[in-house]
């Protein structure tokens, strides 16, 4: 009475076929990541040493280390964060908690979508026009970081917005009905319960920022600058640009040095990400619903 019919058997086969197909597709995602990491580790790890990490490049960048670029990238990312996190989080809070669905809100949303779609080289040119020339910052960390910050704003806004929206409406209603203002509700309930999601957005932003090359190329990153930046008004070397330069512009660089630079860049991003993820997990553990 309950035996499988022809049709059942056929459907079961199709079912497993698709399951395997989708599994393969999803599994393929791991492949590029694994290959990249493997090659970088294989070819790059041999050049990694304290000396490589903590000295300046020498002999026309064919020898020595990457210290100025490493420090430069940290500068660029930090200043960009200082700019885009407060701005992006504030904008997301407005859109999620205050904005009503009207033409103004729709224009803001449209602007965010478009901002996300602008190619990075266009951001670079905008950065030159706005920060380097118009505001007369010159080519410096500030101009480069502001350019990076603007470029990553959509990531921060969208992920923060999603995190805020994930906080159940019932909590807000409970607060409002007790007479809490929107700000009291946001500060005491919404933000504490969405902070882990907001951090996710910031992690994404850090990764993207550290690796970007085009936006900093004309705005503040230098080809070769052995001394460290002293303030945001100095130029600086950066890992991503340094990698580009070593790989394409400088003759006589030993083959494994660019791999080493890439390895350090990725390691830097991974370390920053892991820290944020650890922080996130810690915060999520304290989540109370």
Partner 1 sequence: MIAEKEMTNAVETIGLNLWYGTFQALTDVNIQVKKGIITSLIGPSGCGKSTLLRSINRINERLGYVRVEGAIKVLDENIYARDVEPVQLRKQVGMVFQRPNPLPLSIRENILFGHKIHTPSSLKVSRSEANDIVEKALRQVLLWDKVKDRLKHRAISLSLEEQQKLCIARLLPVKPQVLLMDEPCSALDPKGTEAVEELIWDLRGQFTILIVTHNMAQARRASDECAFMLLGELIEHETTEEIFVTPRHRKTADYIEGRFG
Residues that bind partner 1 (CB under 8 A): 100, 170-171, 173-181, 184, 188-189, 192-193, 287-289
Query: Measured between alpha carbons, how far is 251 from 79 in angstroms, rounded to an integer?
Result: 33
Query: Measured between alpha carbons, how far is 144 from 217 in angstroms, rounded to an integer?
Result: 8
Residue with tokens 């892991």: 274
Nearer to partner 1, 180 or 250 (CB): 180
Q: Do the beta carbons of residue 65 and residue 281 sit within 8 Å?
A: no
Please provide the distance, in angstroms rounded to a whole number, between the alpha carbons at the two ends of the chain: 47
Q: Do the beta carbons of residue 65 and residue 57 sit within 8 Å?
A: yes
3-state secondary structure of 287: coil
Name the minimum Å distance from CB 190 to partner 1: 10
Nearer to partner 1, 101 or 255 (CB): 101
Nearer to partner 1, 198 or 238 (CB): 198
Nearer to partner 1, 80 or 175 (CB): 175
Q: Within the chain, how many helices (H) and strands (E) appear?
A: 13, 2
Query: Measured between alpha carbons, how far is 14 from 125 in angstroms, rounded to an integer?
Result: 52
CA distances 177 to 20, 97, 103, 227, 260, Å, are 51, 16, 28, 59, 58
Nearer to partner 1, 51 or 181 (CB): 181
Name the minimum Å distance from CB 88 to partner 1: 24
Nearer to partner 1, 194 or 209 (CB): 194
3-state secondary structure of 236: strand
Nearer to partner 1, 177 or 248 (CB): 177
Nearer to partner 1, 181 or 274 (CB): 181
Residue (of 251, 249, 246, 275) closest to 263 by Cα position: 246
The tokens of 68 are what? Answer: 């100025």
3-state secondary structure of 221: strand
The tokens of 185 are what? Answer: 């509700």
The tokens of 184 are what? Answer: 């009291």
Counting Cβ atoms within 10 Å, is residue 85 exposed (0-12), middle (13-18) or buried (19+)? buried
């Amino acid at each position: 009475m309950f035996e499988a019919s022809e049709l059942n058997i056929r459907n079961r086969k199709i079912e497993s076929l698709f399951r395997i197909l989708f599994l393969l597709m999803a599994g393929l995602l791991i492949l590029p990541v694994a290959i990249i990491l493997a090659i970088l580790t294989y070819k790059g790890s041999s050049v990694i040493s304290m000396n490589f990490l903590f000295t300046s490049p020498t002999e026309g960048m064919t020898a020595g280390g990457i210290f100025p670029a490493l420090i430069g990238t940290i500068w660029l990312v930090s200043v960009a964060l200082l700019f885009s996190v407060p701005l992006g989080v504030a904008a997301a809070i407005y859109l999620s908690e205050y904005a009503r669905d009207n033409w103004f809100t729709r224009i803001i949303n449209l602007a965010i979508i478009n901002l996300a779609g602008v190619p990075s080289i266009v951001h670079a040119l905008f950065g030159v026009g706005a920060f380097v020339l118009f505001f007369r910052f010159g080519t410096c960390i500030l101009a480069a970081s502001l350019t990076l910050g603007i470029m990553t704003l959509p990531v921060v806004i969208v992920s923060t917005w999603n995190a805020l929206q994930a906080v159940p409406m019932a909590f807000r209603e409970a607060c409002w009905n007790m007479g809490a203002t929107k700000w009291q509700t946001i500060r005491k309930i919404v933000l504490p319960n969405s902070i882990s999601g907001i951090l996710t957005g910031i992690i994404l932003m850090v990764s993207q920022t550290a690796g970007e090359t085009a936006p900093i190329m004309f705005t503040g990153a230098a080809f070769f600058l052995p001394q460290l930046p002293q303030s945001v008004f100095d130029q600086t070397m950066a890992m991503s640009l340094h990698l580009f330069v070593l790989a394409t512009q400088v003759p006589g660089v030993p083959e494994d040095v660019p791999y080493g630079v890439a390895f350090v860049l990725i390691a830097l991003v991974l370390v920053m990400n892991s820290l944020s993820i650890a922080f996130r997990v810690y915060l999520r553990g304290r989540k109370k619903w």
